[in-house]
Structure 1
């Protein structure tokens, strides 16, 4: 790579993986190099085991990196580090990289411990999804001041997570498929940053009452958390929640009722922005919580495959458009529904004997098996997707 000493950026993306050779110090000589992206670049047999990089480098991206990157002594300017699917050992400390904001070591097999985040105070995004051998999340993430995204999805051996979480700027926490994770941390103080919480197929048994401190939460997904037994009534403090997904939580036999806090009876409770509630495949024996006025904008309600025998009138659900009670085999009667309801599904409700007049589209409860006369458009259906 002669004559490249003055290069400032290198972006090499090959259409297919291809072997290449670089001198171990080829990039180190490029004192002005600030961006280095190598995609589908493999090493040949004569390639060294490490390669030195200039301290001026700000963004380094090399998926499937076969080498150990090394830097010269002195302060580093690196802001972004993307080494997804690499087989090299992930360092547990980044003490010489204080300017790092983005780290992606997703789908790497080597990490067992998460890096100490105290060394990188400016870090905004940490992506370790698919690190199937990761077991421990570092305590430093609990109080990190700038972390906005933490993705640990698919870390199937992860079982050690901080007992408290105070990251004020955290916006997205993804713990999907962390099947060994049994507890969720306490939230001792209000966290105004978190918008999305994803816990699909974890082994969590309950959520702490202090989860109410996630005051800006917009979406919470706990699909197939089969060990989940308890939802605290404090979830009614989620004033910004839009989607609550509990599908497949087969251990959940009761959805909490809203209750005022005797210490603060004026505290606002309810779900003023919730428009999708998915309780499909839970074990709910009753759904009388729907009689409250806590769901003023709810549009889509999924109650498939539960065990309740009585459905309340849902008279407070003034904006309900879509209701699915299919395969609720204990259900005996569907009362009069809100007048704006567009579609009702009741397929496979073997005990059902009474249902309201056909003033909206009904599927599954007509003795003549009549075809629907109204078809919801793709645009309408998209807003109800669970």
Structure 2
């Protein structure tokens, strides 16, 4: 661990970012936890940071922890073997370090943890071994930096400017942030303007120095600066702009000015303000009334908020309040808590617990009302916020909305998630610009007002888990893009579509009680994704579904009563756009319609757990993934049969999962050999031989079989005897080998442990490629060594077979433009024994096409071929292969064995 400490604005974060960006590429995972001091203040803030740390390092894998103690355990467990780079920026309490980077043993060997703080004692208390002090710049460094900010680095400055610059540098006291802000303010101005600024405003105090730029802003931009300092630091730009627009400001212009003046920065659409500038803005507001917080324009300090609301001491001066407490606290409301705040524009409750069910007054000037867990059953009868932009009141006790909600021209978003007393939606015809309406988990909601179905501006409508919803109006909305009715269990009738809707892209009906879809679904002409998961009452789909010209994915997982798809495709139908069809766990599905061949762009077909499915017809040519595990009644698979029979131009599907498909695999072997003894050694060998010959692309397949029959095909193999035993193969490719036409076949003989449900364990292979004159390149095949049979119980041993073209290895690693022989491949099989399965053996086989069968893979250097073979056979004996796996050997002079055939060549 390395610590960097120093004053605010000294450049600690800038240094940490520079180090992070220069080193991040050499680590397995990385995370930059910025502004920890501010982000850990809200209740649950440390847990959020722990989740972010896991998410970033594990590259998007969702691992949600719900408590700090649990987060510590998960971080240790998941990251202790990873070499990571972590920046913990702006720490001010020891518990932040204890919960995020408690010790070096939390992370793998070679990891680096960099901590920035203003408090050196924190670093020593946490036993940080290396501590650097970020010191102020000396006069020369400050002058160079300042001149660079005013654009004078590459041109000669007049003596007057140089003297003025020296004055500025003296007052900035070596603080980079001050130099940056002042440089942005003075850049491009005349020397007279420089002197006016220096004579009128510049003082030795750093905050007063920074205030020079604030004082030069026009009033509306100053207002935006103060709002960001008090409320919106760290918020998304596209979230803040509509709120400030509703406050009669011009936020896009103001934000651009503030960025140009170096008073804020925008990174990844997040508004950032340095803590010194935030303190400056809050200090300006504090000075409006140091002793009476109710006289200030903005309230953010939790003690001031509590005092004003409980005592009712607010005034017309207050424009915004944010209730953000270090720990959740109780605030008792009275009838006059808000009665004197006639100009209140923003009210944001982050984590305060309000009680009291009656408030006489809320300001009609409100633009942004963010009040989760609101205790009010109704809003005040006088509340008519015509300028309201966003209403966010999840988990509130509201049972109805007031009459004032009939004429809200500016309202764009309403959120009533988990308002369990709300029985019907409001009439939104008087809210013409509403774009988002979220009523998720409103468990008492019975009906949706007809105005919702015909709203012209509504974009996103969500009613997830409204378990008592039975009535939904006809839909004919011009702008609606997303409709979500997941888990509306009592909604048995899907509404009619009243006409063409050219905006709806996604429709979610999973877990709903819908029995059928209307023929009018054809009017959803822009629909791309249709989610029908676990629609347990759905038995069929209307033929008009084929008229959806942009539909790319249909998800029917768990719709157990589904019997079949419409089998008739009319010439005018649109089936060419469908890319993904998921029929997982459709128990009553017996067959796939023959018309599936017309789905010419279908790439992924999921059939896992379709226990009554007997036949998979010929599949369209672009299919790359077929999941058919647990199809225990499956007897025929036309596409695979044609491949095994050597039908011309038939290529193996890139990924095929046939776990537990014993009946199908038996039929395939029987078709090949015309014999009844379907597990005979020669039959399984023939099965593999057909798969590996004449393939132009890589693939992988999983199916039930005994691997004993493959011992003659995979001569280079390793039996795994001990848990966590290493398994490694080393392959030398000679100089004249035409690797672009060849590949490697990998296999795993897997035994699934009885009564163990499979989980998403890490089960993968890694190939390193070493070409002469180049550094080794490592290629990780996590996507190929996939999670076999995850989520269900396998009844017997299975074989995993993967074919990787050398050409594919070139594509998978950006550093390798093309593999040229000679080179060495090292194949490592990792995590061999898992909780739910045991890997019995592994193997590697060099696959050659028929055109290359007569090619010797050894150099022709004038020596006799028999001498070459004698020498090579001495190095390529089977014992060396086993030794390499069992012993820890890193030498590239040990090679795995490949037995020669009758003609003396290797395959």
TM-score computed with the length of structure 2 as normaliser: 0.39
Q: Is the 8 A contact 1:182 1:203 kept in 2?
A: yes
**What is the distance in 1 between the residues matched to 2:384 and 2:521?**
43
Counterparts of 1:176 and 1:132, CA distance in 2: 13
Confirm or deny: 8 A CA contact 1:151 1:173 kept in the other structure. yes
The yes-or-no answer on 1:332 pairing with 2:635 is: yes
Corresponding position: 1:105 with 2:397? no
Matches within 5 A, 1:313-328: 313-314=618-619, 317-328=620-631
Alignment of 1:184-263 (within 5 A): 184-260=494-570
CA distance in 2, matches of 1:341, 1:90: 56
CA shift, 1:181, in A, is: 0.5
How has the CA–CA distance of structure 1 residues 75 and 325 changed in structure 2, closer, same or farther, with 3 Å as cutoff?
closer
Deviation, structure 1 residue 340: 5.3
Superimposed CA distance per residue, residues 230-285 of structure 1 (whole angstroms, 9 cap, x where no aligned partner): 2012111222222210011111111112422xxxx5x352142x322101111221
Identify which of 601, 605, 608 aligns with 1:304: 608
* Partners of 2:502 and 2:566 in 1: CA distance: 24
The 1-side partners of 2:485 and 2:446 are apart by 13
**Aligned-pair CA distance for 1:112:** 1.1
Does the aligned pair in 2 maintain the 1:363–1:372 contact within 8 Å? no
CA contact (8 A) 1:318 1:340 kept: no
3-state SS, counterpart of residue 636 of structure 2: coil
SS at match of 1:50: coil
Give yes or no for contact 2:421–2:444 (8 Å, CA) kept in 1.
yes
Kindly state the Cα deviation for residue 28 of structure 1 after the two structures are TM-superposed.
Answer: 4.3
- Partner Cα separation in structure 2 for residue 250 and residue 155 of structure 1: 22
- Name the CA distance, whole Å, in 2 between partners of 1:22 and 1:228: 49
Aligned equivalents of 1:96, 1:255: Cα separation in 2: 47
Is the CA contact (8 Å cut-off) linking 2:381 and 2:402 kept in structure 1? no
Unaligned stretches of 5+ residues in structure 1? none
Q: 1:83 aligns with which of 370, 376, 393?
A: 393
Count of matched residue pairs = 370
1:104 to 1:73, Cα distance in 2 relative to 1, 3 A: closer
Structure 1 residue 62: Cα displacement? 0.7
Q: 1:72 to 1:112 in 2, by over 3 A?
A: closer
- 2 CA distance for matches of 1:196 and 1:126? 16
Q: Could you give the per-residue CA deviations for residues 80-132 of structure 1, whole angstroms, max 9, x where no partner exists?
A: 11110011323275224343221111101111111112232222111110011
**Once superposed, what is the RMSD of the aligned Cα atoms?**
2.7
1:368 positional shift: 2.4
Looking at structure 2, the residues matched to 161 and 38 of structure 1 have their Cα atoms a distance apart, in angstroms, of 32
1:38 maps to 2:349:
yes
**CA 380–97 in structure 1, closer or farther in 2 if over 3 Å, else same:** farther
CA distance in 1 between partners of 2:786 and 2:458 (Å): 35
1:24 Cα shift? Answer: 3.9
Secondary structure of the corresponding residue to residue 350 of structure 2: strand
After superposition, residues 367-378 of structure 1 pair within 5 angstroms as 367-368=706-707, 371=748, 377-378=782-783
Residue among 386, 411, 427 paired with 1:116: 427
**Contact 1:325–1:347 (CA under 8 A) maintained in structure 2:** yes
Asked whether the 8 Å contact 1:322–1:342 carries over to 2, the reply is yes
Distance 1:110 1:311, change over 3 A: same
Contact 1:220 1:244 in 2 (8 A): yes
CA contact (8 A) 1:25 1:53 kept: no
Q: Does 1:3 align with 2:288?
A: no
Shift of 1:363: 0.9
Q: Which residue of 2 aligns with 1:347?
A: 659
| TM-score when normalising by structure 1 | 0.87
Cα 1:377–1:55 shift into 2, 3 Å: same
> Does the C-alpha gap of structure 1 residues 328 and 73 become closer, same or farther in structure 2, counting only changes over 3 Å?
closer
Q: CA deviation at 1:155?
A: 0.3
**For 1:194-214, what per-residue CA distance to the aligned partner results, in whole angstroms no more than 9, with x for missing partners?**
111001111111111110111
* Structure 2 counterpart of 1:287: 592
CA offsets per residue over residues 55-75 of structure 1, 9 Å max, x none?
111110110012354374766
Structure with the greater alpha carbon radius of gyration: 2
Q: Deviations over 1:288-318 (max 9, x none)?
A: 3354322x2222110122223222121xx22
SS in structure 1 of the partner of residue 453 of structure 2: helix
Tell me how far apart the structure 2 counterparts of residues 100 and 379 of structure 1 sit (CA, whole Å): 49
Asked if 1:64 corresponds to 2:373, the answer is: yes
Where does 1:175-190 land on structure 2 (aligned, <5 Å)?
175-190=485-500
Q: 1:69 to 1:291 in 2, by over 3 A?
A: closer
CA distance in 2, matches of 1:380, 1:190: 45
What is the SS of the residue equivalent to 1:53? coil
* Residue 138 of structure 1 pairs with residue 441 of structure 2: no
